[in-house]
Amino acid sequence: MQHPQPETGKLRIGVIFGGRSGEHQVSIASATSIIEHLDRDKYEIVPIAITQEGRWLFGVEPQRLLAAETGPEQGDLLSESLAVTLPADPTAGHLVPLSQPETGIEVASVAGEAGRLDVIFPVLHGTYGEDGTLQGLLEMASVPYVGCGVLGSALGMDKEKMKMIFQVVGLPIVDYLVYRRHDWERDPAPIIATIEARLGYPCFVKPVNLGSSVGISKAHNRQELEQAIAFAAEYDRKIIVERGVDCRELECAVLGNDEPLASVVGEIIPSNEFYDYRAKYIDNRSQIVIPADLPQELADQVRRYAVQAFLALDLSGLARVDFFLDRRSGHIYINEVNTMPGFTTISMYPKLWQASGLSYAELLDRLIELALERHADRQRNRTQLQL
Helices and strands per DSSP (H, E), number in the chain: 13, 15
DSSP string, 344-369: STTSHHHHHHHHTT--HHHHHHHHHH
207 and 255 in a single domain? The answer is no
Residue 337, pLDDT > 60, answer: yes
> What's the pLDDT score for residue 118?
93
- Strands (E) in 167-223, as ranges, are 176-180, 203-207, 217-219
> What's the pLDDT score for residue 56?
86
Residue 281, pLDDT > 60, answer: no
265 and 203 in a single domain? The answer is no
* Segment 154-186, tens digit of pLDDT: 999 999 999 999 999 999 999 999 999 999 999
Mean pLDDT score across all residues of the chain: 86
pTM: 0.87
> What's the pLDDT score for residue 117?
86
Q: What one-letter code names the amino acid at 176?
A: Y
Residue 88, pLDDT > 60, answer: yes
* Residue 346 belongs to some domain of the structure: yes
> What's the pLDDT score for residue 108?
40
> What's the pLDDT score for residue 205?
96
Please give the Cα distance from 184 to 229 (Å, whole number).
8
Please give the Cα distance from 163 to 173 (Å, whole number).
7
Structural domain containing residue 349: 157-171+246-376
* Segment 240-272, tens digit of pLDDT: 999 999 999 999 999 999 999 999 999 999 766
* Residue 384 belongs to some domain of the structure: no
H-assigned helices in 222-314: 222-232, 277-281, 296-312
121 and 85 in a single domain? The answer is yes
139 and 161 in a single domain? The answer is no
* Residue 355 belongs to some domain of the structure: yes
- Could you tell me what percent of the chain has a pLDDT over 90? 65
Q: What is the CATH number for 51?
A: 3.40.50.20
17 and 112 in a single domain? The answer is yes
Residue 104, pLDDT > 60, answer: no
> What's the pLDDT score for residue 105?
35
* Residue 18 belongs to some domain of the structure: yes
318 and 222 in a single domain? The answer is no
